[in-house]
């Protein structure tokens, strides 16, 4: 029998409005309130509410011992639920109350702070853990970094924060000849590693409605057979994907909801698999090997590296300019400055500046409010200029 660990990333940034040079020093209104509200409420109708209802139905039918799922709910996403869609927050709380849902920790604003500042990284993780405790009564044991960014030193930091495991990409550069279908451990810290099976995950997340894909259409039977036919000793299958896969990236008209329900039902009815959480895996599995990642890995694009966020001069200039302000921010207690400091670190702002276009380059256009990477860069740098002025004038 296979043990499928289903993890859903749920994140929305506070998108910025077009902020011009002449706005600097005049207005500190950085966010496109109307678009953020409209977009979140649209995704709620298409994805969050129907998919939460489907998961609740499956949990009630099969029980938490047979069907459990895992979520990563970012701080900026939860903030927007409180502002724009409290009914969605309540639906996530109902799911968590079943006992069949595990919540993992990450950085509060879905940032790349781990690449610049251990102090800021740890502060954001603690803020996120506190938010999960406040809204759900949850105490996460497992950590999932922004975009599955993982490297050796980070494992030491995360272990130091008290976490027992991390989720990471099952990248070929990390695994070599090994399979992702085992529990591993960091070579640098006694912390477990659950590695994403990127092919099977992407078959659902990216290729489901791609009619040019040789395996289209993806059916419940086909996916169930692929999983059942994995080597007998490879019993752990980690499927990680964006939650917006269901109803937003893959529209309801594509049949994604029907596929998902039929696939889960087939595996459970035939006794082929159980759907489990990372904490369950830690309680039942022992690491088979220690893995080392001297350089950061991610789950993005075909390269599984950082170039989606820091692959050109626009991105690196904006990133470096942002973190030059950290020391100044630490001296200021103004809540609005602290709020904006977090929101401006969200990785999406740098993603929108991406200029590369490879096999999955179209992904960079999704939910992008800008006409070009250069517009994203100019907007962001104008806001940083205003933000720097506010820091200089703060008491």
Pair (284, 320) in one structural domain: no
Pair (273, 362) in one structural domain: no
Q: Does residue 287 belong to any structural domain of this protein?
A: yes
Q: Establish whether the linkage from the previous residue to 332 is cis, with ω within 30° of 0.
A: no
pLDDT tens column, 261-270: 999 999 999 9
Q: Does residue 298 belong to any structural domain of this protein?
A: no
Query: pLDDT truncated to tens, each residue of the chain (395 aa)?
Result: 999 999 999 999 999 999 999 999 999 999 999 999 999 999 999 999 999 999 999 999 999 999 999 999 999 999 999 999 999 999 999 999 999 999 999 999 999 999 999 999 999 999 999 999 999 999 999 999 999 999 999 999 999 999 999 999 999 999 999 999 999 999 999 999 999 999 999 999 999 999 999 999 999 999 999 999 999 999 999 999 999 999 999 999 999 999 999 999 999 999 999 999 999 999 999 999 999 999 999 998 778 899 999 999 999 999 999 999 999 999 999 999 999 999 999 999 999 999 876 334 454 455 788 999 999 999 999 999 999 999 999 98
Pair (37, 146) in one structural domain: yes
pLDDT tens column, 195-210: 999 999 999 999 999 9
Q: For residue 357, what pLDDT is reported? A: 61
Q: Does residue 299 belong to any structural domain of this protein?
A: no
Pair (259, 313) in one structural domain: no
Pair (106, 243) in one structural domain: yes
Q: Does residue 200 belong to any structural domain of this protein?
A: yes
Q: For residue 366, what pLDDT is reported? A: 56
Q: For residue 356, what pLDDT is reported? A: 79
Pair (173, 244) in one structural domain: yes
- Supply the residues annotated as catalytic: 147
What is the domain count for the chain? 2
Q: For residue 41, what pLDDT is reported? A: 98
Provide the β-strand partners of residue 241: 8
Q: For residue 365, what pLDDT is reported? A: 55
Q: Does residue 193 belong to any structural domain of this protein?
A: yes
Q: Does residue 296 belong to any structural domain of this protein?
A: no
Q: For residue 289, what pLDDT is reported? A: 98
Q: Could you give the C-alpha distances from 249 to 10, 200, 244, in angstroms and in order?
A: 13, 16, 6
State the alpha helices, DSSP H only, in 137-184: 152-160, 172-175
Last residue of a domain, one of 244, 260, 291: 291
**Domain boundaries, position 312:** 307-393
Pair (77, 161) in one structural domain: yes
Q: 293, 299, 7, 291: which is closest to 169 by C-alpha?
A: 299
The model's pTM:
0.95
Pair (8, 90) in one structural domain: yes
Q: Does residue 297 belong to any structural domain of this protein?
A: no
Q: For residue 214, what pLDDT is reported? A: 97
Question: For residue 190, how many other CB atoms are within 10 A of its CB?
Answer: 11
Pair (325, 271) in one structural domain: no
Pair (96, 222) in one structural domain: yes
Q: Does residue 270 belong to any structural domain of this protein?
A: yes
Q: 258, 192, 185, 189: which is closest to 223 by C-alpha?
A: 258
Pair (54, 89) in one structural domain: yes
Q: What is the CATH number of the domain that holds 127?
A: 3.20.110.20
Last residue of a domain, one of 262, 291, 320: 291
Distance between CA atoms of residues 267 and 275, nearest Å: 9
Last residue of a domain, one of 291, 324, 354: 291
Do the bridges between strand 101-103 and strand 250-251 make them parallel or antiparallel, or are there none, so unpaired?
unpaired
Pair (49, 162) in one structural domain: yes
Q: For residue 189, what pLDDT is reported? A: 97
């Amino acid at each position: 029998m296979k043990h499928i660990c289903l993890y859903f990333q749920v994140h929305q940034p506070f998108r910025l409005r077009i902020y011009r040079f002449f706005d600097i020093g005049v207005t500190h209104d950085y966010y496109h309130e109307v678009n953020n509200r409209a977009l979140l409420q649209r995704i709620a109708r298409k994805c969050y509410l129907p998919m939460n209802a489907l998961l609740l139905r499956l949990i009630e039918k099969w029980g938490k011992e047979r069907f459990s799922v895992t979520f990563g709910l970012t701080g900026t996403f939860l903030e927007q639920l409180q502002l724009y869609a409290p009914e969605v927050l309540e639906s996530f709380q109902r799911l968590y109350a079943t006992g069949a849902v595990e919540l993992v920790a990450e950085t509060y604003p879905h940032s790349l702070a781990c690449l610049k500042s251990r102090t800021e990284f740890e502060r954001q993780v603690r803020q996120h853990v506190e938010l999960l405790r406040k809204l759900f009564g949850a105490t996460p044991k497992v950590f999932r970094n922004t975009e599955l960014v993982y490297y050796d030193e980070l494992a030491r930091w995360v272990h130091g924060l008290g976490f027992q495991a991390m989720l990471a990409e099952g990248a070929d550069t990390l695994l070599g000849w090994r399979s992702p279908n085992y529990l591993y451990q960091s070579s640098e810290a006694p912390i477990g590693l659950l590695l994403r099976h990127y092919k099977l995950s992407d078959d659902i997340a990216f290729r489901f409605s791609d009619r040019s894909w040789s395996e289209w259409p993806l059916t419940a039977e086909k996916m169930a057979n692929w999983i059942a036919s994995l080597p007998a000793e490879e019993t752990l299958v980690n499927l990680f994907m964006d939650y917006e896969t269901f109803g937003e990236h893959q529209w309801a008209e594509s049949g994604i909801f029907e596929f998902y329900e039929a696939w889960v039902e087939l595996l459970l009815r035939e006794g082929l698999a159980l759907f489990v959480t990372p904490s369950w895996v830690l309680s039942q599995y022992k690491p088979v090997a220690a893995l080392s990642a001297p350089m950061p890995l991610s789950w993005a694009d075909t390269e599984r590296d950082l170039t989606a966020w820091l692959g050109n001069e626009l991105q690196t200039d904006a990133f470096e300019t942002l973190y030059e302000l950290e020391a100044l921010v630490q001296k200021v207690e103004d809540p609005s400055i602290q709020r904006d400091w977090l929101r401006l670190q969200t990785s999406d702002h740098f993603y929108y500046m991406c200029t590369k276009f490879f096999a999955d380059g179209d992904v960079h256009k999704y939910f992008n409010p800008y006409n070009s990477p250069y517009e994203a860069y100019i907007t962001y740098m104008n806001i940083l200029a205003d933000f720097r002025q506010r820091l200089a004038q703060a008491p």
